[in-house]
Chain A
Amino acid sequence: MIKRFIYLQWKSFFRAAGVATKMLHKILLVFVWLYFAFVFTGLAFIAFFGIQEEIGEDPLPIVSGFLFYALAIWVVARYFIQKMPLIHVKPLLAMPIARVNIARFGLLKTVFSFFNIVNLFFFVPFGIILLKEGYNPIGVIGWLIAVGSIILSTNFLNIILNSKDKVLVAVGVLLLGVYGLQHYEMFDITAVVGPFFMAVYQQPFWALIPVALAVVTYQWSLSHFRASLYLDNEVMHQKKETHRAGELGWLDGFGRIAFFLKNDIRLIVRNKRARMSVWMGFAFLFYGLIFMSDLYSGAVWQVFIGVFVSGGFLFSFGQFVPSWDSGYYPLMMTQNVPYKEYLISKWWLVVVGTLISLPLASFYLFFSWETYLAILAGGIYNMGVNAHLVLLSGAYTRTPIDLNSMQGAFGDKKSFNIKTLLLSIPKIILPMFIFYVGVLLHSKLVGFGLIALVGVLGVALRNAVFKWIEQIYQHEKYQTLDAYKQRNA
C-alpha cells in the first residue's frame, strides 16, 4: 500500500513542470540540510562542553530545563511554517483503499518533515557525547526516547492546530500564559520540565509518559485527518468565504490600471496564500530589529536593512508575479490588454506596497535617524530598481500557484529557479555597493543619496525598461502558458 503511495509521489515529482529546476532545488536543499546538520551538531557540542566548561555544571539538567523553550518554539514554528500533509487524495478516495490508510500515509509523510529530522542532528550527537562522558546508557536512551516522543507529539499536535481553531486558541493561551508567568517570575516552568526529564534519566520508565503522549496525539490527529477525508470537508476544500472587499470605487481614479489593482486587492483579501505573503511582507518591517545590536552597526548593514525593511511586500508578493494570475493566465493573454499595461499595473501594486511600508517603518527613528534614512533610500531604490527586477524575474517564474489549495505560503518554495536566483543578487548587493562608493567619495549621506538617485533614475526610465521587460514576457509567453496548465504540480 505504502509503496503505491510513494510511487504516486515519485511520479508527481518527476512529471511536474520544470523538473530540472526542481532537481536543482533539491540539490540546493541538500546543502541546506548539510548546513543545518553542521549547525545542530555544533550546538550539541556547545550545549555539552560549553555549559560544562563555562558554567561548570552538569549539562544534562540544564539542557533538560531548556527543553520546554525548545518545544514551545517548535510548536509555534511548525504552526507557521510546516506544510500540512498534502497527498493528491481525490482520485484515491473512490479506490478500494481504507481511508485510514490514506490518513496514515499523510501522517507518515509529516514524520519525515524537516522539523523532525533536524532534531536528530542535535539529539543524536548530544546522546553520543553523554554516553562517551560516562552517563548511564539506559538513562540516556530513556531520555532520548522521551525527547523524541515529545517532538513527535508536537508534530501531530500541529495537524490538529491547523484545522481546529479551538485547540489552537487553547494552546496559544497556554503558551502565552506560561510565558507570562515565567516573565513575571510567578512560576518557573523549567523548574518542572527540567526535573521531569532528569527523572526520566534516572528512572527510564518515566519515558512512558511522553511515549503515551505521542501515541495519543497520533491517534487524535489520525482520527481527525481520517474524518476530514471528504471532498466537502474544509481541510480538503478551502472554507467558503463570504463576500469580502466590495466595490473599491476609490480606485477608479487610476484609470484602466484600476481594474487590475482592484483585482489584485481582491486577490490578496480573498486568498489565503496571497494574504500570507502580505503578512510576511509586514513581518519584514521588523527584520531590522534583529540587526539593532552593535554587531551590525556597520553602515553597509544599514543599507541592507533599508532595502529589506522597505521591500517586504515587494519581495514576498512581487516574487510570485505573474504566478498569482496563473489560474487565469490564458484569459489575461486574450483580453484587450497589452502586456505592458498588465505589467505596469503590477509595478504600481508593489510601489504602493513599498510606499505604505515607509511610514510604517518610521519607528526605526527611535533607534537612529540614519537607519530610517537608509530605509527611505532603500525604499526609493526598491521602487526604481527592485520593482523592475522583481517583474523581470517574474518572466521566468513558471510555477503555477493554485490559489484554492491549502499549501502554506512558506514551505512552498517551488518557484525557485536559477535565473530568479541570479536576478535577486542585484536587489541586495548592488545598493550596498553603490552606498560604499558614496562613502568612499564623501560620506554616508552621499551614499544614501546615491542609492536614492539610482532609484529615482529607475523610476524615470521605467517606460524604457518596461518595453524591454515586455519583450521578454512576450518571448516567454508560450512556455509560461504551458507551465500554468499543470496545476497541482
Chain B
Amino acid sequence: MINISLLSKKYGDQTVLNIDELHIPSGQTFGLVGNNGAGKTTLFSLILDLISPSTGHVKNNGVVVADSEAWKPNTAAFIDEQFLIGYLTPEEYFYFIGGLREIKKDVVTAALTTYEDFFHGEVLGQKKYIRDLSKGNQKKVGIVAALLSNTPVVILDEPFANLDPTTQIRLKNLLKEEASTTGKTFLISSHDLQHVTEVCDRIVVLNKGKIVRDEQTSPTTLQELELFFREQL
C-alpha cells in the first residue's frame, strides 16, 4: 500500500530522515517507535505530503504523493491539533469530514454511535466547541474522525498520548477490532512500547532518522524493544 524508496529529508546539512526502502503492505498494522527526534512525525508528514522530501519519494497506492493529489481519497490521518477545527462542535466536525469524504450524514450518525463507548459521554451532545474540550477529548475527536473517514489507510501519530488509562485500553481494543474487521492499513506511532506491540503486526524502530529494527510482532518483541531502548541510555 505504502512504498517508500530512497527517501530523505535534510534541513541544512542535518539529515533528519533517511530511509532506503520501506514497504507497508495492504492490511498491515504498522507500528513506529523511536525516541524524540528519531523522525517519526517527519516520516508521517512526508507520507501525507505535508513536507517535501529532499530525495526519493513516497508512493501511496501507486501514486507519488508529492506529484499528485490522487492519494487523498485513500488516506485519513490525525497527527496533531492542527487536524481539528476549533470553532466547530465535534458533531459538526464529523459531519464536515464525512461530507468531504462523501459519506452521507446518516451514515456518519450511525458510525458515531459505535464510538459512544470510546467517547465516554464526554464528546457528543455537549454543545461545546472543540477548542473548549480538554486535550484528551480533542484527541478522541481527531482519532474518530480519521477512523470514520473510511479510508484504506489510516495514519495516527501518538494516538495514546494524553488519553486517560481507561481510554487507552478502549483505543487499543478499538484499533485491534478495526484492523481485523475492516482490513484497513494502520500506521501508528507511539512512545508506549506495550500498547504498540499489543496493537501492531509489525514494529519498525527509527533512530536518528534511520530504520534500525524492523520485525513482525512476536511474544518476545516487547522485551527486545525494552532492551533496545535501555541500551540507548
10 A-B interface contacts by CB (under 8 A): A243-B127, A256-B99, A256-B100, A259-B100, A330-B83, A334-B49, A334-B50, A336-B73, A339-B69, A478-B51
Binary contact readout A321-352 vs B (1 if CB under 8 angstroms, 0 otherwise) = 00000011111011111110000000000000
Interface centre among A333, A334, A335 (most CB of B within 10 A): A334
Given A266-B92, A331-B85, A333-B50, 10 other A-B residues pairs in contact with their CB atoms under 8 A: A241-B129, A243-B127, A259-B96, A330-B80, A333-B49, A336-B102, A336-B149, A338-B72, A478-B51, A478-B52
Partner of B51 from A270, A403, A481 at Cβ < 8 Å? A481
For B131, list chain A residues within 8 Å (CB): 404
Pair B87/A336 contact, Cβ less than 8 Å:
no
| A368 within 8 Å of B (CB atoms) | no
| B101 within 8 Å of A (CB atoms) | yes
Report the Cα distance A325→B101, complex, angstroms.
19
Nearest residue (CB) in B for A325 is B85
Pair A334/B87 contact, Cβ less than 8 Å:
no
Pair B69/A330 contact, Cβ less than 8 Å:
no
Nearest residue (CB) in A for B88 is A266
Pair A330/B87 contact, Cβ less than 8 Å:
no
| A267 within 8 Å of B (CB atoms) | yes
For A241, list chain B residues within 8 Å (CB): 129
Pair B99/A259 contact, Cβ less than 8 Å:
yes
Report the Cα distance A243→B129, complex, angstroms.
8
For B77, list chain A residues within 8 Å (CB): 334
| A240 within 8 Å of B (CB atoms) | yes
For B75, list chain A residues within 8 Å (CB): 334
| A21 within 8 Å of B (CB atoms) | no
B-side interface residues, number (CB < 8 Å): 34
| B86 within 8 Å of A (CB atoms) | yes
A-side interface residues, number (CB < 8 Å): 32
Which chain A residues have a beta carbon within 8 Å of chain B's beta carbons? 240-243, 256, 258-259, 262-263, 266-267, 270-271, 327-331, 333-339, 403-404, 478, 481-482, 484-485
Report the Cα distance A108→B132, complex, angstroms.
31
Report the Cα distance A201→B50, complex, angstroms.
66
| B97 within 8 Å of A (CB atoms) | yes
Nearest residue (CB) in A for B98 is A259
Pair B101/A336 contact, Cβ less than 8 Å:
yes
Report the minimal beta-carbon distance from B69 to chain A, rounded to whole angstroms.
6
Report the Cα distance A12→B50, complex, angstroms.
25
Partner of B100 from A242, A328, A329, A337 at Cβ < 8 Å? A337
Main secondary structure of the interface of A (DSSP, over half): helix
For A331, list chain B residues within 8 Å (CB): 82-85
For A243, list chain B residues within 8 Å (CB): 89, 127
Report the Cα distance A244→B49, complex, angstroms.
34
Pair B85/A335 contact, Cβ less than 8 Å:
no
Partner of A328 from B50, B69, B83 at Cβ < 8 Å? B83
The 7 closest A-B pairs by CB, nearest first: A259-B99, A331-B83, A270-B87, A330-B82, A336-B73, A243-B127, A478-B52
For B85, list chain A residues within 8 Å (CB): 263, 327-328, 331
For A484, list chain B residues within 8 Å (CB): 82
Nearest residue (CB) in B for A241 is B129
Interface centre among B72, B80, B82, B89 (most CB of A within 10 A): B82
Report the Cα distance A403→B132, complex, angstroms.
13
| B205 within 8 Å of A (CB atoms) | no
Pair B132/A266 contact, Cβ less than 8 Å:
no
Report the Cα distance A126→B99, complex, angstroms.
64
Report the minimal beta-carbon distance from B180 to chain A, rounded to whole angstroms.
25
Interface centre among B88, B129, B149 (most CB of A within 10 A): B129
